[in-house]
Amino acid sequence: MKKVFSLLVAGMLAFSFTGCDEEDILSGTPSEEDMQPVADNMNAEKGLMSAASYMNPYGLDEELSTKGAMVDGPTYDYDPVNKILSIDFTGVAGMGGEIIVTYDSDPLAIPLTSIGAMATMIDFVKDGSTYNGTVVFSMTVGTTITMSVMTSDGEVISINNGVASYTWSGNRSIAWIEGALTPVDDTDDVYQLTGSSAGVSSTGTNYESTILTAIILSNDCDYIMYGSQEVVNNVNSDNEATITMTFNVDANGNLLGNPTCNSYFEMHYVSGIFDLTMVMDMDEM
């Protein structure tokens, strides 16, 4: 069983404003450099959440078969003396590298109530990007299964997308709010994400990102269904720019009260004296 944290569709990682009249008539609209930290941050988080789904030992049995029930999945190898789980993605379509997880208690314990770990990604490949670095992982099983993934102080995750490199650090708290009772079926899974992050984009821009309203994700929807996130570029400089994305809106920018699977989001861009709000459709990017 593998839990896929489907954060973003490909269009979200390559914003294009060619369809917006505002770009043609106004100076100060978001440039590619403005949007690159958004793309890099979200791509980093997409890979990190995918890695977390493998670190999660929920559903792992003594034969190491249940969690790897997907066809052509990774190879699991467990050292019970040192509580180390090695996950090898060699030969897995679109993936590669390893994740080495050292748990603080037995990940095969039944019932599993809580566990912590240090996990190292070694040339872990996801969707064409390669991830290297170590994170702290924890999970608690209760009414809701909650997980957290974070970098230690001073540590960063290094990512290379085949063209350029960038870094990510921060924390993500993940509540598995629906679907945990059917661990083999990931189509009914719903997650709630909170946390903050920072990094240096592939164009050298330092940024900070904060989830303002908890983000809701579902494996049966290609889009972020609810929540809002802020990215601040060039923090504390004369070129500071703030980009806020609200995902729970309709095509006209009206706020939706419940998580809804649609491709619209509202973007609020502020840089200097320039302030622009626009509704965008991910399917048209």
Please, which pLDDT band fits residue 67 given cuts at 50, 70 and 90?
low
Q: Do residues 99 and 121 lie in contact, with contact meaning Cβ atoms separated by under 8 Å?
A: yes
Q: Which of 96-100, 106-110, 142-146, 182-186 has the lowest mean pLDDT?
A: 182-186
Query: Is 248's pLDDT higher than 90?
Result: yes
Please, which pLDDT band fits residue 29 given cuts at 50, 70 and 90?
low
Residue with the larger pLDDT of the pair 113 and 22:
113
Residue 172: both structure tokens together: 């993500």
Q: Give the DSSP letter of residue 249.
A: B
Return the pLDDT at 20: 39
Q: Do residues 211 and 227 lie in contact, with contact meaning Cβ atoms separated by under 8 Å?
A: yes
Please, which pLDDT band fits residue 8 given cuts at 50, 70 and 90?
very low
**Ramachandran angles phi, psi of 54, nearest 5°:** -85, -35
CA angle 178, 182, 187 (to 5 degrees): 65
**Region 8-30: what's the mean pLDDT?**
39
Please, which pLDDT band fits residue 46 given cuts at 50, 70 and 90?
confident
Share in percent of the chain as helix, strand, coil (round to 5): 15, 45, 45
Residue with the larger pLDDT of the pair 158 and 13:
158
Return the pLDDT at 45: 84
Mean pLDDT, rounded, of the chain: 84
Return the pLDDT at 106: 94
Residue 170: both structure tokens together: 């921060």
Cα separations in angstroms, 197 against 111, 194, 267:
33, 10, 19
